[in-house]
Amino acid sequence: MSLAASGSSGSFFPLLLFILVPLGMYFLMIRPQQRRAREMAQMQSRLAPGAEVMTGSGIYGTVTEVDEEDGTVVLEISSEVHVRFARAAIARVLTAAEGETEAAVPVAAEEVDTDTDTVTDAKANQVIERKD
């Protein structure tokens, strides 16, 4: 009788794994990605002229125009140099547009460039070279 009881409880463990593994993947991988995508869409929908932004390719600029119909923004990357980007190409907002009350997305205090071993202080926009 003990053999029959142990055989039926052994088949419960694989069934439990088939339930727990997908649940674990959902909570550890899918939900955080959905949250990040929702935050990115909210950030991109709040773009307004005057906001300083960085694109996904690393181009920094100031938003001068937002076209809601086309889903594009025009960035001024230098004086009198305007470039049109898709709104989805904006990776982060460095400073919010004037008149916006919501806080901008925080930027790391220091960014390290591994190619040149330099540290860029984002607050002061100065480059500090490492002396190793």
Residue type, 74: V
Q: Are residues 54 and 66 in the same domain?
A: yes
Q: Are residues 99 and 116 in the same domain?
A: yes
pTM value > 0.85: no
Q: What CA–CA distance (Å, rounded) separates 11 from 15? A: 7
Highest mean pLDDT among 3-7, 21-25, 93-97: 21-25
3-class SS string, 76-102: EEECCEEEEEEHHHEEEEEECCCCCCC
Q: Are residues 72 and 33 in the same domain?
A: no
Tokens found for residue 63: 């938003």
Q: Are residues 109 and 50 in the same domain?
A: yes
Give me the pLDDT at residue 108, please.
46
Q: Are residues 36 and 51 in the same domain?
A: no
Name the average pLDDT for the chain. 77
Residues sharing a CB contact under 8 Å with residue 91, sequence separation 6 or more, in sequence order: 53, 54, 55, 56
